Amino acid sequence: METTERRRLFATEKVGGRAVYRLQAATVAAGILLVLYYRATRVPAAGEGRVAWLGMAAAELWYAVYWVITQSVRWCPVRRRTFKDRLAERYEQNLPGVDIFVCTADPHAEPPSIVISTVLSVMAYNYPSEKISVYLSDDGGSILTFYALWEASMFAKKWLPFCRRYNIEPRSPAAYFSELEGHHNLCSPKEWSFIKSLYEEMRERIDSAVMSGKIPEEIKLKHKGFDEWNSEMTSKNHQPIVQVLIDGKSQNAVDDDGNVLPTLVYMAREKRPQYHHNFKAGALNALIRVSSLISDSPVILNVDCDMYSNNSDSVRDALCFFLDEEMSHKIGFVQYPQNYNNMTKNNIYGNSLNVINHVEMRGLDSAGGCLYVGTGCFHRREILCGKKFSKDYKEDWSRGIKNRQENINETEEKAKSLATCTYELRTQWGDEIGVKYGCPVEDVITGLAIHCRGWESVYLKPQRTAFVGLAPATLAQTILQHKRWSEGNHTIFLSKYCTFLFGHGKISLQLQMGYCIYGLWAANSLPTIYYVMIPALGLVKGTPLFPEIMSPWATPFIYVFCVKTLYSLYEALLSGDTLKGWWNGQRMWMVKRITSYLYGFIDTIRKLLGLSNMSFEITAKVSDGDEAKRYEQEILEFGSSSPEYVIIATVALLNFVCLVRGISKIMAGVWNTSWNVFLPQVILCGLIVVTNIPIYEAMFLRKDKGRIPLPVTLASIGFVIAYVELIDRSAMETMTAERRRRPLFTTEELGGRAVYRLQAATVAAGILLVLYYRATRVPAAGEGRAAWLGMTAAELWYAVYWVIAQSVRWRPVRRRTFRDRLAERYEQNLPGVDIFVCTADPNSEPPSLVISTILSVMAYNYPSEKISVYLSDDGGSILTFYALWEASIFAKKWLPFCKRYNIEPRSPAAYFSESKVHHNLCIPKEWALIKNLYEEMRERIDTAIMSGKIPEEMKLKHKGFDEWNSHFTLKNHQPIVQILIDGKSRNAIDDDRNVLPTLVYVAREKRPLYHHNFKAGALNALIRVSSVISDSPIILNVDCDMYSNNSDSIRDALCFFLDEEMGQKIGFVQYPQIFNNITRNDIYGNSFNVSYHVEMCGLDSVGGCLYIGTGCFHRREILCGRTFSKDYKENWNRGIKERGKENINGIEEKAKSLVTCTYEHRTQWGNDIGVKYGCTVEDIITGLAIHCRGWESAYINPKRAAFLGVAPSTLAQTILQHKRWSEGNLTIFLSKYCSFLFGHGKIKLQLQMGYCICGLWAANSLPTLYYVMIPSLGLVKGTPVFPQITSPWAIPFIHVFCMTTIYGLHEALLSGDTLKGWWNGQRMWMVKRITSYLYAFIDTIRKLLGMSKMSFEVTAKVSDHDEAKRHEQEILEFGSSSPEYVIIATVALLNFVCLVGGLSQIMAGVWNMPWNVFLPQAILCGMIVVINMPIYEAIFLRKDKGRIPTTVTLASIGFVMLALLVPLV
């Protein structure tokens, strides 16, 4: 068992809930960093709210710093528990003396009846009375206060025995009798009534004296002390007074039970006008000196005059700390919380200090010392006299407990000399000795000095409150009190006593920060007043100051606000507040910061500059009857015309007006921005309005005396009108000026990046572990080493390719255009646009399809005179020319119809296939007429195609038909240029008399001896031809099957080119290649949804998306080889001029000379000028060259697709298309145009990697082919190539596979794919890699070795009826005996055979290994089997023409058998 000597007198326990707190603190800290990062990286341009933004950033930075400081007291708070029984056991006979100081200053602000209740409560402590000495300092020097104290000394003889006899609580008679309706359970009713009557009579006499302002003459005769007052004495000019009313060492000082009474002393220190009296600090120092002569107790308690003792054991609790044998030598003072008994239920003025008392003071206690708060604090006398901490110091607890030698009168006279004005002159009092001077919060600075001398302090909050006082009961009193506190604490912070300076190396950093919580109260005023006004004004001015609510960047703002608010509510409720009390506290949080703290801050600065002197205003402890009634009803008290109220009313009204006006402007579309841009400001403004509802009531609804006075209301209305009108005027001026400066497009970062980056980091870690495993677990020779090394090489390749693929996922962006702004600025000066459409074969690309595309781009919502459409026919077919001629005639009807009714899409084929009935706005008769005209035209074209010839009567209708003769062939013909519509001719008008776009047919010269460079050659020919006909500065090229689906596409693109700030950098604008014939579940994986929704957006963020050959707007100059220069100014008016005297025939002849086979000889065309030659993906290599010349590109994916085309509808077409693409991209990668070489130092590494994603498509074939075959063969041959499933090394394999698969599914679904569509995409991922990419890889190597030449195979845009039906039913189309199908069938069959054979061998125990060794291979093999189910159906079950032919099946079976014979070494 413990001995009595070793048992502690107090215990220290950690407060619970720290894990939850630290988690929220960590997440809030992360949120704050993101908020600050957002502010730092999104600073608006000058004139777009930059100053307001920087102000918000500064305010948030301040809040971030202050939040960090406040966490210092929340990290590890503690609670203390005392053991008074142990104290009694050990020290009951040797308890030290205690001197109790009570201070008052004004009998009107602090009524003497309240003061004496406090005095009587501390006199009645459950402690030996002979060891208690009570001192009342009366800084008002009032005879009324002295009289009240004399009355208390008389009443104490009855009250103290009564308290001890029945052990009553509280021992303040005022509090005790107000709490009890009837007598105490233990005392007799007669005695209780008697004592109560005595108290009430005494209080009545005191109150009467205070009201009359004088003492009855007969009373003055009862004590010599009354003689101190004379007619010349004033509160600020009088001699020192010290009167011992009860001398506890006198034998006569006994109560009615014969017990010794405590010593009771009245002191009024000398006051003279010429001497500064240092307020409460001076009074306390005088008490220290006076008490040293009279009682000289080693422990001093000081309490405010309204702070009565509510717990008679408080002295004993405090002594448990001072007398503890182990820790007491460190403890300089013990602080109790400051509690109030007049709080309303819901704490209307936020004065309860519950969170400070329950949380912050306990946190300070854990760091070495809570604050000294000026009341309810027990000190060692020695530390108040300047003693520094020393381990060797031993306290003399018996000091002061001795009989006095001199009589009481001599002691009083001697004590008076210690309370004169001159005593402290040229001494260390108020500096090194006693309570410190020069600050309104003498308590805090004194406590800091004690801590810095090495002492610690403790904070004790017992179950029964130790002290209870009076909180301010009006708003004015609350504002005054907090002004004094904040001003005093800020004065400390800005002085040499700043904790970070004065406390450096003396107290812990945590305690330094704890002091600063209160030291920076006043400094909080500026960011708060900024935050409650500027966002509201920004709402009226149209200046967004937060990220839009749908942006990912809104998340940290919302998170920090919500979590901080919820944790604040949690702390408040845990500390004893009600929900409504917490809400009231939020209101007062704002009110105090924009009034008390603001004035505290201003006054502190003024004092530092010597513009004012320190003052001390006492908080009144009384209020009139009406005020008290409203306080009880929890109605805010205003009443007077205070400047603080003007601020409160102005802020409340300003937010209300700004909220209403801001919302009305947003709804009216004044700012031309979406509502969610301003939603955070609306929410903030709305919260402030809701918080201030009691303010609005006080201004406009209430009629009582406590309402906001009319002058205050009028003043605040005036300020609000001035602010709002000024902002409104400024907003209108800014709007007018900014309309020219507002960007024509915005760039927004895509959401979900935090989740992506987290998964990418974990996948990267998993990949490194996989590669480490492969490198450190290589089998011995003959045990599958070759297979293992092959798997390692494949996984290393996948790792490298995965890293490359992440380059476009790190920070993708989306673009948004503002066509309304474009129209405002440039409608009269829009540039011309040349549109290039290319076709090559009327059989693969039917002319009816081509002319639908032509008509759709002719009908753009754009001035027709500025559009020129060029069709390049590389097939040189009269059928295509005939179709175009038919389109030129139909355009006269079609274009006015489109523009009249604003129809979409403007491709007649697409429009009439979508619209079963007439357009809502058009006349049915007109709709039917246009449809009939179109169908008749299409029928004529299709008839001509089927017959292969044009009716002779048709040929007579245009001279262009004469170009075709009997010697004309597809690959051997002269150049043809025919202007079917000359947009500059007066006759080129439609049926509504509007100008038609220029329409030109071009068939460049073809001769067998000359290479024509495929589509690239056709585009370069069009560039030259267009330069002599229209020469527009913008060129759009589209594939012949890619019709315009959005008539505003040109305007969207021009928003990039014509933007004043960023437009000069942009060389081309790319739209996505979207198809309208994709099946619901995308059977062939041709939708490219992930590429267009993720990868192209990612490339766009690093300087440029890829040029993909269609749906792309270029500057003409960059296609002609121009290098980017900041000084270059585009001539947007080029081509917009009347043609000279040259007639149309002359122009056609001139244009023909530009498309001859010999024109490009010995020129830079196809190299430095035009579209590049030598590659089947001329678009990609041309785009790369443009980027490397310094230009950027933009990618836009509007809500309504800009272009829609036809995707391959059979597997053969899909394989062919991807073979051409992957072969071309690999050719680039293996040439001098490899993005890492050609782009080095010219484009960003991220963009270089982005180009390589496509460039390495073909290279993926080998590791894929290896991965879908070798693990399966290993399964049947007993060669494990993965860690066993129960091994920890299986975790990284599983993690990488699962995370990449799940994230791939997430991207697909987010991009618009279905779940089954994603699954089909996985199948096609494998199929394309083992067929298209494999053949492309082989062909590329053969070309590099000179074994073959480049070819260009056009992807057919048509399929027969059966194929189309199977495509709609989502059935894979095979049909022919293609070698690619042999590979597909072989891989599918091999995995099926290996899975069955491998599982049977494992179950039979052939390999003498546990089943889990082969489980990863079995799972992989099983997944390949499941994904290939449609292949097995096509091999064995289907009977239609699209099944896999028998020859392919037999060949694949043979290859499977051959593969099973190959050993794995």
**Residues in contact with 308: Cβ distance below 8 Å, sequence separation at least 6, in sequence order:** 117, 118, 121, 122, 170, 171, 172, 174, 175, 467, 468, 469
Could you list the residues known to form a binding site for Mn(2+), using ranges: 1015, 1039
DSSP per-residue codes, 1066-1128: EEEEE---EES---TT-TT----HHIIIIIHHHHHTTT-PPP-SSSEEEEHHHHTTPPP-TT-
- By residue count, the chain amounts to 1465
Question: With contact defined as beta carbons under 8 Å apart, do 780 and 826 qualify?
Answer: no
Give the residue among 116, 780, 96 at the shortest CA–CA distance from 380: 96
- Phi, psi of 79, deg, nearest 5: -125, 150
What residue has token string 């500027």? Answer: 534
| Cβ-Cβ contacts under 8 Å for 873 (sequence gap 6 or more) | 839, 840, 880, 881, 1001, 1002, 1003
DSSP states along 381-444: HHHHTTPPP-TT----TTTT-S--SS-HHHHHHHHHHTTSSSTTTTSSBTTTBSSPPSSS-HHH
One DSSP character per residue, 546-596 reads: S--TTSTTHHHHHHHHHHHHHHHHHHHHHTT--HHHHHHHHHHHHHHHHTH
The amino acid sitting at 660 is: V
List 1048, 1179, 1313, 1339, catalytic entry: 1179
Burial class (CB in 10 A: 0-12, 13-18, 19+), 1379: exposed
CA distance 733 to 721: 18
HSE-CB at 847 with a 13 A cutoff on CA atoms is 29
Specify the 3-state DSSP secondary structure of 79. Answer: strand
Residues whose CB falls within 8 Å of the CB of residue 51, separated by 6 or more in sequence, listed in order = none
Cβ pair 1076, 1206 in contact under 8 A: yes
Please write down the long-range contacts of 1396-1400, taking CB distance under 8 Å and 24 or more positions apart: 1397/1275, 1397/1276, 1398/1272, 1398/1275, 1398/1276
Burial of 1398 (0-12, 13-18, 19+ CB in 10 A): buried
Catalytic residue (choose from 577, 874, 1082, 1313): 874
Alpha carbon distance 640, 705 (integer Å): 9
CA distance 325 to 329: 8
CA distance 935 to 843: 20
DSSP state at residue 491: H
The binding site consists of 845, 874, 1015, 1039
Cβ–Cβ contacts within 10 Å for residue 197, how many? 10
Q: How far is Cα 1006 from Cα 1000, in angstroms, rounded to an integer? A: 19
Phi, psi of 873 (to 5 degrees): -110, 95
Question: Measured on CA atoms in the order 938, 939, 945, 948, is the torsion positive or negative?
Answer: negative
- Is 874 considered catalytic here? yes
Token output for 745:
């497009």
Interior/surface letters 664-701, b for 16+ CB within 10 angstroms, e for the rest: ebbeeeebebeebbbbbbbebbeebbebbebbbebbee
**Cα-based angle 371, 373, 377 (whole degrees, multiple of 5):** 95
- CA 72 to CA 442: how far, in whole Å? 23
DSSP 811-850: S-EEEEE-HHHHHHHHGGGPPPEEEEEEE--TTTS-HHHH
Whole-angstrom Cα distance, residue 1235 to residue 1248?
5
Residues with a known catalytic role: 874, 1179
